[in-house]
Structure 1
Amino acid sequence: MYKYIYKKKLTTLCISASCLLASTSLSAKEIVVLQDSFEIPVQQNQVAFVPFAGDSVLSPIIVNDLSKEGLKITSQNLPQQPRSSSELAGTLPVWQNLGIPYLVIGSTRTNRGKIITDYEVIDVKSGRILEGKQTSTTNKDPDSMRRAGHVIANKIYALITGTPGDFSGRIAYIEETGAGKEKVSRLKVMDADGENAKTITEVTGSIFSPTWSPDGNRIAYSVQRDKSYPVIYVQSVSGGGATPLTPFPGSNLSPSFSPDGSKILFSSSFEGSADIYEMSASGGQPRRLINWPSSEVQPSYAPDGKSLVFVSDKTGFNKPQIYRYEFGSGRTTKVSSSDYATSPQFSNDGSQIAFLSGRSAAIMNSGGAVTTNLGNTGIDEAPSFSPSGRNVIYASKQGGKGKLTIKSLSSGQSFDIPVQGIARSPIWSSSPK
Structure 2
Amino acid sequence: MRTHQKLCLSLLASTSTLLISSNLLAAPVVLELDYDIPVQQNQVAFVPFAGDSVLSPIILNDLSKTELKVTSKDLPQQPRSISELSGTLPVWQSMGIPYLVVGSTRSNRGKVVTDYEVIDIKSGRVIEGKQSLTADNNKESMRYAGHVIADKVYELITGIPGDFSGRIAYIEEVGTGKEKVSRLKVMDADGENAKTITEVAGSIFSPSWSPDGNRIAYSVQRDKSYPVIYVQNVSGGSASALTPFSGSNLSPSFSPDGSKILFSSSFEGSADIYEISASGGKPRRITNWPSSEVQPSYAPDGKSFVFVSDRSGFNKPQIYRYEFGSGNTTKVSNSGYATS
Relative to the length of structure 1, the TM-score reads 0.69
- Residue 292 of structure 1, CA deviation: 0.5
Structure 2 partner of 1:173:
170
| Separation (CA, whole Å) in 1 of partners of 2:333 and 2:174 | 34
Structure 1 partner of 2:281:
284
| 1:145-194, Cα deviation, whole Å (9 max, x unpaired) | 11111100000111111110121110111111110000111111111111
**Pairwise mapping of residues 268-283 of structure 1 onto structure 2 (< 5 A)?**
268-283=265-280
| 1:73-101, Cα deviation, whole Å (9 max, x unpaired) | 11110000011122222322221111111
Cα–Cα, structure 1 residues 40 and 137, in superposed 2: closer, same or farther, change >3 Å? closer
- Higher RCO, Cα 8 Å, sep 6+: 2
Q: For 1:339, give the aligned amino acid.
A: G
Structure 2 partner of 1:47:
44
**Pairwise mapping of residues 25-424 of structure 1 onto structure 2 (< 5 A)?**
43=40, 46-343=43-340
3-state DSSP of counterpart to 1:137 = strand
| Separation (CA, whole Å) in 1 of partners of 2:123 and 2:213 | 38
Q: For 2:309, give the aligned amino acid.
A: S
3-state DSSP of counterpart to 2:286 = strand
Q: For 1:342, give the aligned amino acid.
A: T
- Residue 41 of structure 1, CA deviation: 5.3
- Residue 43 of structure 1, CA deviation: 2.9
User: What CA RMSD, in Å, does the superposition of the two structures yield over aligned residues?
Assistant: 1.6
| Separation (CA, whole Å) in 2 of partners of 1:322 and 1:44 | 40
| Separation (CA, whole Å) in 1 of partners of 2:245 and 2:41 | 59
- Residue 45 of structure 1, CA deviation: 5.4
Do the aligned partners of 1:69 and 1:166 also contact (CA within 8 Å) in 2?
no
- Residue 288 of structure 1, CA deviation: 0.8
Structure 2 partner of 1:12:
none
| Separation (CA, whole Å) in 2 of partners of 1:251 and 1:322 | 20
3-state DSSP of counterpart to 1:208 = strand
| Separation (CA, whole Å) in 2 of partners of 1:138 and 1:70 | 28
| Separation (CA, whole Å) in 2 of partners of 1:285 and 1:133 | 52
- Residue 51 of structure 1, CA deviation: 0.3
Q: For 1:53, give the aligned amino acid.
A: A
Q: For 2:72, give the aligned amino acid.
A: S
Cα–Cα, structure 1 residues 133 and 310, in superposed 2: closer, same or farther, change >3 Å? same
Do the aligned partners of 2:39 and 2:98 also contact (CA within 8 Å) in 1?
no
| Separation (CA, whole Å) in 1 of partners of 2:305 and 2:183 | 28
| 1:228-269, Cα deviation, whole Å (9 max, x unpaired) | 111111111111111111111211110001111111100111
Q: Structure 2, unaligned stretches of length 5 or more?
A: 1-32
Q: Structure 1, unaligned stretches of length 5 or more?
A: 1-17, 19-38, 344-433
